[in-house]
Structure 1
Amino acid sequence: MRRRTVCAIILACGLALEGSASPTLPNGYLGSFIWRSEDPRMGGMSAIELDRNGSGFTALSDRGGWTTGRLIRDDAGRITGIEAAPVRLLRGKGSAPLAAERSDSEGLAIAPDGTAYVSLEGVARVLRYERLDGPAENLPIPPEFRRLQRNSALEALAIGPDGALYTLPERSGRENRPFPVFRFRNGAWAQPFTIPRLGSFLPVGADFGPDGRLYLLERQFRGLMGFAARVRRFEIAGDSISAGEVLLETRPGQHDNLEGMAVWRDGGGDIRLTLIADDNFRFFQTTEIVEYRIPG
């Protein structure tokens, strides 16, 4: 039996077992919504960006697909429905979609002027789009990108208050080696600092909040027990970064495979985390959207 099939069976059993336990959810949990669609391209959602009021969204698939839409909320702000356009494919430099072997899109960051940036994991690089339905422009590829582990490369991408891009790989190469953070500013890449590894959690998503701080979503796979998620927050000042603080950590199996995160401020003035799960295009997983509130 192929290794991938064995892993899928283990995951399916683990999610079923853990789901029946109904463990207590962390403080700040607001709710979850399962996004179901008949669109054959729908799935593998690895990144999400929201507008300022937490309604309009852009979501990115790890197979080079993207869609836009609106989160429908009740009076308490909980998600009750989704309206979304059909999933479209990212283009390369011309009019054709990205080649299948080069379309592992993982991170998404959208600038205030609408310019979109996409980080890719297989062949490590960052693409720039004036519009997501337009042609791509390759940002420079530094030598460090070519040395990253294949299929564990640029998983997370965020745009800072000053317009600089920040990205980091899913794996650092060793369990005791911190994650390198790469910054694109003034047309060039640099690696100003690292983020320490804490346990076996791996970075999968990032965003700058309205407070100007960097939020990092991390994932841990626990086999039969399913996935756990953690969110850390960091202060960045020039070429330095704080030690960070853990804001949220879920138990394995509480949610599906959370990979994307948008950080915004709700009407009550609190920071809200909107997290989206990658279902890996498997029938036993879900495209789950989960929200947590961070007081203050």
Structure 2
Amino acid sequence: MRRNPQRVLIAAFAALLQFSPVAAQAVFRGEVHLEATAEASRFGGLSAIEMSEEGTTALVLSDRGMLFDLSLTRAAGAITDVTVCCGARITWDGGVHLSTAQRDSEGLAILPSGEIVISFEGQGFARLAVHRRDGVQTRTFPEVPGVAVLPPNGAFEGVAADARGRLYTLPEAMPGQGPIPLLRLDRGRWSLFAQLPRSSGWSPVALDFDDRGRLYLLERRVVVPFGLSSRLTRFDVAPAGLSGAEVLLHSRTGRHGNLEGLSIWRDGQGQLVATMVSDDNFLAMLNTTLVEYSLPD
């Protein structure tokens, strides 16, 4: 029987991806699928997550302008069950739900005050704003410099707040092939804090800080037709910028879904944990999952 050379090549490449090594520093803890309940309509498209300190509750953000609360059950540290509830629409300060073009909500951060910051994509609507836990907007921030040149689907995927409440964000994509700018909002003014080298095929999708002030960057890469790969990098933060880049996780292609959200927290035993959430793009063929890895200190 004559073999199709293209199929042979694809099969060989798939086998190579399946057994390619991954970074050994992060240790897999578990993965669980999420399903909506009757109380959580419009569930899906999750793009961000903030885990509670004890790891039993979480706040997740949909890229269609919705917030959801999660209640997690654990055994020996691993998630055994998740309940999704209490969907809240993201609204303007008057309580009006955002229009479709305005509600591409992508990043989530919690300020020391307990308020939440949401970052948005969308042509003409890319921005950052403060919202209450019920989704109502309370105030906005100055426009991010350079926002007008960002691609329609390449604006502010990730946002993080440090211990002093300063915000950090970066676009998913930039015109041309230059570095990705990491921007910081401090005392009402945006500045260029650092520039991250652009890696071929990789896109930044989430940011978060740990309790020691280190910054984590989650990136994804699409390998058609085999799936996605995820990479988690940790940086030391100094007044002059970032240093000490350390790749903690580099998953093989197809190992997980479309991981877009990231939360760094510490469990009751003092173990540093990365919880990530996948975006199902509201497609029946994809799943919404929580993925967890233990991280070295």
TM-score by length of 2: 0.88
Aligned residue in 1 for 2:170: 168
Cα drift, residue 236 of structure 1: 1.3
Distance 2:256 2:121 in 1: 23
> Unaligned 5+ residue runs, structure 2?
1-10
Distance 1:121 1:60 in 2: 13
Q: Structure 1 23/50 Cα, relative in aligned 2: closer, same or farther at 3 Å?
A: same
Aligned residue in 2 for 1:142: 144
Aligned residue in 2 for 1:83: 83
| Alpha-carbon displacement from aligned partner over 1:118-140 (angstroms, at most 9, x marks no partner) | 00011210011244433342211
Any conservation in 2 of the 1:264–1:273 contact (CA below 8 Å)?
yes
Aligned residue in 2 for 1:285: 286
Letter in 2 for 1:154: F
Residue range with higher mean Cα deviation, 116-125 or 79-88:
79-88
Residue range with higher mean Cα deviation, 111-120 or 37-46:
37-46
For the aligned residue pairs, the C-alpha RMSD in angstroms reads 2.0
Residue range with higher mean Cα deviation, 103-112 or 267-276:
267-276
Distance 1:181 1:295 in 2: 24
Secondary structure at the residue paired with 1:279? coil
Aligned residue in 2 for 1:43: 44
Aligned residue in 2 for 1:72: 73
Aligned residue in 1 for 2:189: 188
Any conservation in 1 of the 2:180–2:197 contact (CA below 8 Å)?
yes
Aligned residue in 1 for 2:180: 179
Any conservation in 2 of the 1:23–1:254 contact (CA below 8 Å)?
no
Any conservation in 2 of the 1:116–1:132 contact (CA below 8 Å)?
no
**How many matched pairs?**
277
Aligned residue in 2 for 1:250: 251
Distance 2:115 2:83 in 1: 23
| Alpha-carbon displacement from aligned partner over 1:44-93 (angstroms, at most 9, x marks no partner) | 0000001111122100000001111321111x111111123232210113
Residue range with higher mean Cα deviation, 228-237 or 142-151:
142-151
| Counterpart selection for 1:124 from 119, 126, 134 | 126
Any conservation in 2 of the 1:94–1:136 contact (CA below 8 Å)?
no
Q: Structure 1 25/41 Cα, relative in aligned 2: closer, same or farther at 3 Å?
A: farther
Secondary structure at the residue paired with 1:251? coil
Distance 1:170 1:92 in 2: 24
Aligned residue in 2 for 1:8: none
Aligned residue in 2 for 1:234: 235
Aligned residue in 2 for 1:6: none
Residue 96 in 1 paired to residue 106 in 2?
A: no
Letter in 1 for 2:118: V
Distance 2:234 2:51 in 1: 19
Distance 1:24 1:240 in 2: 31
Any conservation in 2 of the 1:109–1:158 contact (CA below 8 Å)?
yes
Distance 2:54 2:181 in 1: 32
Aligned residue in 1 for 2:205: 204
TM alignment of 1:10-49, pairs within 5 A = 27=24, 28-38=27-37, 39-49=40-50
Percent identity between the two aligned chains: 37
Secondary structure at the residue paired with 1:86? strand
Any conservation in 1 of the 2:50–2:58 contact (CA below 8 Å)?
yes
| Alpha-carbon displacement from aligned partner over 1:151-187 (angstroms, at most 9, x marks no partner) | 1100010001221000000012234x11101111101
Q: Structure 1 262/142 Cα, relative in aligned 2: closer, same or farther at 3 Å?
A: closer
Distance 1:79 1:167 in 2: 29
Cα drift, residue 261 of structure 1: 0.5
Distance 2:292 2:144 in 1: 36
Cα drift, residue 108 of structure 1: 0.2
Residue 56 in 1 paired to residue 57 in 2?
A: yes
Any conservation in 1 of the 2:36–2:84 contact (CA below 8 Å)?
no
Structure richer in strand, relative to its length:
2
Residue range with higher mean Cα deviation, 270-279 or 237-246:
237-246
Aligned residue in 1 for 2:226: 225
Letter in 2 for 1:36: E
Residue range with higher mean Cα deviation, 129-138 or 237-246:
129-138
Cα drift, residue 23 of structure 1: 8.1
Any conservation in 2 of the 1:91–1:136 contact (CA below 8 Å)?
no
Cα drift, residue 196 of structure 1: 1.3
Distance 2:191 2:200 in 1: 26
TM-score by length of 1: 0.88
